Amino acid sequence: MLKTIFTLVRGAAFRAEEEFADRSALLILDQQIRDAAAGIERARRALAIAIAQDEAEGKQLETTLARIADLEERAVAALDGGSDELAAEAAEAIAVMEADRDSIREARATFAREIAGLKATVRKSGQRFAELERGRRIAAAGESVRRLKAGSGLTVPVARLRWRSRKRPCAGCATGSSRTPRPRTPSRRWTSRTRTASLTGSRRRASAGAPARPRRACSSA
């Protein structure tokens, strides 16, 4: 017995939880859709920033490469002119510029990985957003069906109103219509009783000496 009661309690709790989830489905989905939209917006903003920084690093790399090429030409010209000091200074500057070039390339590689990851995030977030929108449409349809089922009790008052309208008098009776009711034809049983009573009365009057009432001639004669 206790096991049965415990099972009933668990079933009632599960049903209540399902009903609560059904009623709160639209609210939960709306919040999830807002969160997904905010996540997509943040990912797109981060992607735009990463792309802009990568482009800036690309321009900086082009400038660095151009300066390295110019310094190499000057170093070669200094060596050809016998100016070892200028050639040494150019070599040092070239080494610094090459270090900058390598760091810029590493930064661009990092930005490329970040851009690829952000693009994947935006794509997945968009798919998740579409799934949530589709789920919301399904949940809204289910909520509409549930409301229609809950409102099916309105058919009882409508049936009562129809029953009451049938009990109301017709418009002609309520307004005093000039139509006269059809005369009711007497039944055979009632006619035979009337004739028997009249004959009995005539016999009694005849026995008492009173003149009998003349019988009416038949209309068919």
Domain contains 207 = no
Instruction: With a cut of 90, say whether residue 25 has pLDDT above it.
Output: no
Residue-wise pLDDT tens digits, 196-213? 555 555 555 555 554 545
To 5 degrees, how large is the angle CA 83–CA 88–CA 91?
Answer: 125
Domain contains 221 = no
Instruction: With a cut of 60, say whether residue 216 has pLDDT above it.
Output: no
Residue-wise pLDDT tens digits, 110-156? 999 999 999 999 999 999 999 999 988 888 887 788 778 766 654 44
Domain holding 87, by residue range, is 2-147
- pTM value is 0.54
Residue-wise pLDDT tens digits, 81-103? 877 788 888 888 889 999 999 99
To 5 degrees, how large is the angle CA 55–CA 58–CA 63?
Answer: 130
The CATH number linked to 105 is: 1.10.287.620
| Nearest-angstrom CA–CA distance, 33 and 136 | 9
Domain contains 167 = no
| Nearest-angstrom CA–CA distance, 154 and 173 | 31
